[in-house]
Structure 1
Amino acid sequence: MPTRRIPRRGPVLTAVALAALPAIAFVAPGQAVASAPPPAATATASPVGFVNLPTSPLPSDRTPHRFTVSYRNPSPTDRTVAPQVLVESPDQGPFLVTSDIRLELLGSDGRWRVVPLGSQTGTLFTSLTSAKIVLHGHHTLTQHYRLTVLAPAHGTVEPRIALYS
């Protein structure tokens, strides 16, 4: 006589119930839980466009040079933006490295703070992630920077504003 195996309901229901529990149930109290961002946040993770601001040649002397990045939100609605400074190497090189320049940002307390730079294929750049802010409708973002060339170098300073949806 053939036998038929009937799954036991207890283990199956337990597995289904455990799969439905949130991840936080398995973390000891007091520990932070990294969770996936909600779908709306995932859509805004990357910029949807850029506004290029006026460029200037990289100063060749070793004195600090100030410049201002300014952007006005033309919309009546709030918009997430991120100022970014690019320092482009000449097309034929030599390519800039992060130790060639020092970029500083003037804080709201009146102190200059060094801005870390990334580097990719001859371009030095500031992080977009740490610079994101919500700019209210018809308001202007103004940031003051100070750039010092530490080693003989050539290039172009190209500020821009990243726009998010």
Structure 2
Amino acid sequence: MPTRWIPRRGPVLTAVALAALPAIAFVAPGQAVASAPPPAATATAPVRFVDLPSSPLPTDRTPHRITLTYRNPSSTDRTVAPQILVESPDKGPFLVTSDVRLELLGADGRWRTVPLGSQTGTLFTTLTSAKIVLHGHHTLTEHYRLTVLAPAHGTIEPRVALYS
């Protein structure tokens, strides 16, 4: 008669619990610490946005850097999500996602294309995939590169979504 191995519940549950713990990062004060938001924060909507300085959409076809910087003024951790909006002129013509290419500089030093959504002439990065926990009194800095691929006019409006 063949035998079957049945794992014990205690060690399996311990392994699952340990795998779910976030990694601890040792970072000097003033540097951003990016970690996944708690599960409860994932389902909630932002409570407000912090608008950062906007700039006109460049008209040439060369890459332009955009630096998004936000400092958590609180002593408590806060879930935030950086977002780049590219606004069309009020009277059109409206931008489409093929008009621009947006890239994000990764921790490994490589540029990665960021997918853009579109709604009524506004191109935007998604918030759900950008959520991070920013520790109290730490600063989030992200570097983007925007290239206008087709003749277009508009405004670049970086902002940060704040969650409760």
Taking structure 1 as the reference length, what is the TM-score of the superposition? 0.74
Aligned residues: 126
Instruction: Tell whether the 8 Å contact from 1:50 to 1:163 is kept in structure 2 after alignment.
Output: yes
Do 2:41 and 2:79's aligned partners in 1 also have CA atoms closer than 8 Å? no
Q: What secondary structure, in the 3-state scheme, does the structure 2 residue paired with 1:41 have?
A: helix
1:73 aligns with 2:102: no
Q: Write the letter of the residue equivalent to 1:67.
A: I
RMSD: 1.3
Compared CA separation, residues 114 and 42, structure 1 to 2 (3 A): closer
Q: What's the counterpart of residue 55 of structure 1?
A: 54
Partner deviation per Cα, 1:52-110 (whole Å, 9 max, x = no partner): 00000000000000110000000000000000000000000000000000000000000
What is the aligned partner in structure 2 of residue 13 from structure 1? none
Cα shift at 1:42 = 6.9
In the alignment, the residues of structure 1 paired with residue 51 and residue 140 of structure 2 have an alpha-carbon distance, to the nearest angstrom, of: 14
Partner of 2:86: 87
Q: Aligned partners of 1:145, 1:65: CA distance in 2, in Å?
A: 8
Unaligned runs of 5+ residues in structure 2 are 1-38
Q: Does 1:124 align with 2:123?
A: yes
Distance 1:110 1:163, change over 3 A: same
Q: How far apart are the structure 1 equivalents of 2:127 and 2:49?
A: 11
1:110 corresponds to 2:109: yes
Conserved in 2, the CA contact under 8 Å of 1:44 and 1:164?
Answer: no
Distance 2:67 2:78 in 1: 20
Moved runs in structure 1, 4+ residues, more than 4 A?
none
Long gaps (5+) in structure 1: 1-39
**1:96 aligned partner, one-letter code:** L
2:5 alignment counterpart: none
In 2: Cα distance, 1:67 partner to 1:159 partner? 9
Identity %: 82
Deviations along 1:106-131, whole A, 9 cap, x unmatched? 00000000000000001000000000
